[in-house]
Amino acid sequence: QSVLTQPPSASGTPGQRVTISCFGGSSDIGGNPVNWYQQLPGTAPKLLIYLNTQRPSGVPDRFSGSKSGTSASLAISGLQSEDEADYYCAAWDDSLNVVVFGGGTKLTVL
């Protein structure tokens, strides 16, 4: 069982906006930045959002992150077929001194 809680699936049609939630606690999301990873089918995960809202170079601005208290969200606007992937939230956990992950959300583009 993952420390952070994400919905197992999400879906949308091309052009739509979808959001994926991530719930944690005071020792992880509540006290540390949230990062999001995208894992395309058959590939390694890639950093998508860091420090709650920041995009690494090369990540389209269709992807955005937010955080409030002990929860965070990833929003994808103008959904495209190539966005179909698994998305994971993660944060440092101060009590465990480890990185904790959400269980992942499989995004389907209908």
Q: Given the rule CB under 8 A, which residues bind other proteins?
A: 2, 32-33, 35, 37, 43-47, 50-51, 56, 86, 88, 90-92, 97-104
CA atoms of 51 and 32, how far apart (whole Å):
8
Nearer to other proteins, 12 or 33 (CB): 33
DSSP, collapsed to helix, strand or coil, labels residue 98 as strand
Of the pair 83, 93, the CB lying nearest other proteins is at 93
| 3-state secondary structure (DSSP) of residue 54 | strand
In angstroms, what is the minimal distance from the CB of 33 to other proteins? Answer: 5
